[in-house]
Structure formats: C-alpha cells, structure tokens
Amino acid sequence: RKYSGMVEDCCCDYETVNQLNDEVLHPILQELVKTPFFRYFKVKLWCDCPFWPDDGMCRLRDCSVCECPDNEFPELFKKPSRVRSADDMVCQEGKPQAAVDRTLDSNGFSGWIEVDNPWTNDDETDNAEMTYVNLQLNPERYTGYTGPSARRIWDAIYKENCPRYPSELCSEQKVLYKLISGLHSSISVHIASDYLIDEAAQLWDHNLELLYDRVMRYPERVTNLYFTFLFVLRAVTKAADYLEQAEYNTGNSEEDLKTQSLVRQLVFNPEIRAACPVPFDEAKLWKGEKGPELMVQIQKQFRNISAIMDCVGCEKCRLWGKLQVLGLGTALKILFSVNGNNKLNQPLQLQRNEVIALLNLLNRLSESVKFVHEMGPIAEKQIKRK
C-alpha cells in the first residue's frame, strides 16, 4: 500500500514527512542523541508495579544491575539513593538482551531546574532510586520479552486507559489513542529492525516478516506512527526558543557547543519551517465547555499509562518504555500546559531529563518512520510473493 496525501489529523503529507525526515531530521537527530548531554537518561528502574504485585516477570533482574561498582559513577551522578537490601543483591535470571548495561563514562550535567511533570506518574524531582543509564549502550531492539506479561501491559494501556476510539470518542481521546498506538508501532518497528535471528550464533538482523505482521498489515498503525512523529515534532518546534536557550553543559566544551549547534539546526530548521510549519495543530483541541474537564481526565489517563510502565517485566523495555512515555508527557506538557487554551498558562519550564526524553523519543520515531518508508514496501512484496 502506498501512503500518500495528508497524514490523518495532521498538517503535512506523507511525502513531505519522508523527505524532511530523510534529509534533515534523521541525520541531525542521529548526531544529537550521541552527544554526552543526550545520551544519559535518569530513570527509576526498580519495579514497583502498583497493579499486579504478583507478576513473576517483574522480579527478573539481571546480575549487571547489582554488580555495577560504585566507582564507575562520576561524582556528579552520586545523588542520594535508596539503600539496597540484601534481597536486591541476589542475582536473578533474565535474558542477557533484556538487561540494561549501566556502564557510564565521566560526563555530567549541570544547571537545570527540577519541576515535576503533571502528565507522568514518576516524580521527576525525586532522585532517590534513580540511576543514570547510557542510552547508547542500550539500544531499543528485540529482547525476548513476550507472552502474557507483555500482552497484559498493552491490554491495560488500551482497555483501561484509552478505549479503542471509533466514533463515540471525542478528538482528544482519539489523540491519546493515536499517540499510544504510534508509540506501540515504533516499538514493534525497532524489534523488527534489530532482531535476534539466531540466538546461538548471536546473529542480529532485520525481521521483515515481523514488520509486516505487526505493523505494515495494519495501515492504521502506520498512520498512527506518522501522527505521533508529527505530534512530537510540533512540540519540539513549539519549544524552539526554550530549547535554543537551554544549557547543554556537561563539562566538555567542544561537545557541548556541538550539541547546542545541533539543537539550533533542528529547532530553527528553515526546510522544516518552509515545508511543514505546523506539523500538528494543537489549537483545535480542548475547545468547548468541557475542555478543561477533558484535559484533567486525559491527563489522569496518561499518568496511569505512565504508572503501568513500572509493571513492564523486562528491564530494557522498561527503560525505553519510561523514556518514551516521559517524552510523550513532555510533548503533551509543551503543547497543552503552556500558552494553550487551558487556564494553567504558565511559562514553559522543562527538566533536563524531560528534554533528553523528548529528543530521544523524536529520534526513535524518526528511525521508525525511515525504516517503514524504506523497508515497508519490501516487506509487503516479500509477503505477497509467498
């Protein structure tokens, strides 16, 4: 199937999105996420699932988690943290590809304010139990996490928090559904793009059948991926001034200048501004009498989705799940808590970790859009030939 015309509910067409992504966004983002500022993410990885305390999967922790020596962490990272009990030190089973590699190098951050994000469940200002993870060492890809535990998470997200939309849902609920579905597509695309083909030989490659079965077969999932990409891109360009003025200081001036320059190239990009000036029009939402009430309700639903991430029973999936949900929460905060139609109308204040999540999420979505654009038609042809 050829995707053409406007992306549903957005303000740009597929061809423009693909061209902008291939020529501008993808190359800049790939560079940006490798910089010292953007490669470390602060996250609470311990699982405190509030919904299913008996989920055996949730107790699987890998040895690398407990063995990470203290002297590996730079001074700047040594924030007060939870005292670990002997129980935590017991190494438990887990597939090696599902465990987070916590190796760090010596670049730190400085100078950002700490404010909690109203769209997410974790308190972003609470440093207890938080660790820093080098995202470059932990790519999002196949981990072997599957079966009832994974299924239960997706079911909970869709059924409890954003019922499948058809006509009875208002456009705000539809947006929430599409964001989650787009993120789900993106996760599936990353699994398909980096798949463990042969466990014994540790051979990783594309799995186009999986790409077809989980994403390409369902045009709605492809559309939702593009929608989510444009939604997050809109948030990034809306916060352009803030992002340009922010400090990207890690103590390595050469790298930090490069980071600043890449951010500027991204947020004030003349090609994006000319071809797709408003990727998504947030002003259309929360209108009418019920606007403020709806906003509170959807914020609550999104916070629940964020809480469910603590129940993801595979560490690496939890890491990327949390990062991407925080990234979406940050996009929602930028688009709807600031200069929007609601009464909050506060000046924009972002945490360093929110900006890291937002741009890493945009990069993940950009990778997925590129993969779907390039490999989707090949996957479709292969399946038809069979």
| CB 166 to ligand FAD: min, Å | 13
Helix axes 315-336, 219-238, angle to 10 degrees: 60
**What residues are designated binding site?**
141, 143, 154, 181, 184, 214
The residue among 61 and 184 lying less far from ligand FAD, judged by its C-beta, is 184
For 266-281, give one letter per residue: b (16+ CB within 10 A) or e. bbebeebeebbeebbe
**What residues are designated binding site for FAD?**
141, 143, 154, 181, 184, 214
The residue among 221 and 234 lying less far from ligand FAD, judged by its C-beta, is 221
Chain residues in the site for ligand FAD (CB under 6 A) = 140, 142-143, 145-146, 150-151, 153-154, 181, 184-185, 187-188, 191, 214, 221, 312, 316-317, 320-321
Catalytic residues: 314, 317
The residue among 138 and 237 lying less far from ligand FAD, judged by its C-beta, is 138
| CB 38 to ligand FAD: min, Å | 19
Residue labelled with tokens 């999986």:
210
Residue labelled with tokens 């059948």:
209
CA atoms of 358 and 184, how far apart (whole Å): 16
The residue among 61 and 316 lying less far from ligand FAD, judged by its C-beta, is 316
| CB 322 to ligand FAD: min, Å | 8
| CB 33 to ligand FAD: min, Å | 16
The residue among 146 and 346 lying less far from ligand FAD, judged by its C-beta, is 146
* Token pair in block for residue 60: 């699987």
| CB 301 to ligand FAD: min, Å | 16
